[in-house]
Amino acid sequence: MKTLIVGGGPVGLAAALALKERSIASDITILEAAPRATESFSDRNIALSAASWRFLSKLGVSVDAQQRAPIRQVEITQRGAFGLLTLDAKDVAASELGAATPYPALKSALDRAVNAAHINVLYGAKAESVQHEAQRAVIHLASGEKLAADCVILADGAASDFVPEFKRLERDSGQMAIITRISASKPRAGVAFERFTAGGALALIPRADGEWTVVWARARADAERMLVSAEVAFNEELNAAFGSSMGTLTTTAKLTSYPLIWRFVEPRAGGAIVALGNAAQGLHPVAAQGLNLGLRDAQDLGDAFARQTTNKTIAATLAKFSRSRGVDRVARIGFTGLLAYGFDRGGWLADVPRGLGLTAVQMLPLLRREITRRLAVN
Ligand X SMILES: Cc1cc2nc3c(=O)[nH]c(=O)nc-3n(C[C@H](O)[C@H](O)[C@H](O)COP(=O)(O)OP(=O)(O)OC[C@H]3O[C@@H](n4cnc5c(N)ncnc54)[C@H](O)[C@@H]3O)c2cc1C
> Which residues in this chain contact ligand X in the complex, by CB under 6 A?
6-12, 31-34, 44, 46-48, 126-127, 155-157, 159-160, 177, 179, 215, 258, 277-279, 285, 288-292, 294
Q: Which C-beta is closer to ligand X: that of 137 or that of 288?
A: 288
Of 330, 306, 332, 305, nearest in space to 319 by CA: 305
| Shortest Cβ 199–ligand X spacing (Å) | 18
| Shortest Cβ 242–ligand X spacing (Å) | 18
Provide the 3-class DSSP secondary structure of residue 252.
coil
CA distance 312 to 306: 12
Q: Which C-beta is closer to ligand X: that of 246 or that of 265?
A: 265
| Shortest Cβ 88–ligand X spacing (Å) | 19
CA distance 279 to 162: 10
CA distance 6 to 377: 30
Q: In the bound complex, which residue of the shown chain has the CB atom lying closest to ligand X? A: 9
CA distance 122 to 24: 20
| Residue 343, CA distances (Å) to 203, 260, 295, 375 in order | 13, 16, 27, 18
- Decide: 289 and 335 in contact? Cβ < 8 Å: yes
Q: Which C-beta is closer to ligand X: that of 144 or that of 347?
A: 144
| Shortest Cβ 135–ligand X spacing (Å) | 23
Provide the 3-class DSSP secondary structure of residue 114.
helix
Q: Which C-beta is closer to ligand X: that of 140 or that of 362?
A: 140
Q: Which C-beta is closer to ligand X: that of 32 or that of 96?
A: 32
| Shortest Cβ 291–ligand X spacing (Å) | 3
Q: Which C-beta is closer to ligand X: that of 105 or that of 350?
A: 105
- Sign of the C-alpha dihedral, residues 36, 99, 262, 81? negative
Give bridge partners of residue 123 from the DSSP assignment: 32
Give bridge partners of residue 279 from the DSSP assignment: none
Q: Which C-beta is closer to ligand X: that of 25 or that of 260?
A: 260
| Residue 43, CA distances (Å) to 179, 193, 292, 330 in order | 10, 19, 18, 28
Q: Which C-beta is closer to ligand X: that of 269 or that of 354?
A: 269
CA distance 352 to 115: 54
CA distance 100 to 88: 16
CA distance 270 to 248: 52
| Shortest Cβ 159–ligand X spacing (Å) | 4
| Shortest Cβ 359–ligand X spacing (Å) | 27
| Shortest Cβ 6–ligand X spacing (Å) | 5
CA distance 16 to 3: 9
